[in-house]
Amino acid sequence: MLTPIIACENPFKAAKLYEAAGWSVDFSKLPERGDPLVGVSLCANRVLLGVKEGYVRKENVPRIACGVQFYVTIPQEKLEKARRKHRTFSRADCSHALGRAGV
């Protein structure tokens, strides 16, 4: 199984946004122990939130996650709640945490 790492300006702030969208924070790795990393999951689907610094060139920052799609499995009885929370998440100003202007 592959677990994608999403580059963020601040993975800890991004994790709070994911949590507001219904995801669970599984673990946090503080910067003192290497690159900051946060594991989040939704219905057994896992994603890692990492830093962009050192991994994403400055000229590529506006394209972080553009064109990337993740397909996740969500049980039918949890689907409507997930949709509702994700609509709110997608409308929020996430640029401070995700590191993209105009997100």
Q: Which residue has the higher pLDDT, 30 or 15?
A: 15
Instruction: Answer whether residue 36 shows pLDDT above 60.
Output: yes
Going by pLDDT thresholds of 50, 70 and 90, the confidence category of residue 101 is very low
State which residues form the domain around 89. Answer: 5-97
Q: What pLDDT does residue 97 have? A: 57
Asked if residue 65 belongs to a domain, the reply is yes
Mean pLDDT of the chain: 81
pTM strictly above 0.85: no
Asked if residue 102 belongs to a domain, the reply is no
Q: Specify the number of domains making up the chain.
A: 1
Count other Cβ atoms within 10 Å, centred on residue 18.
25
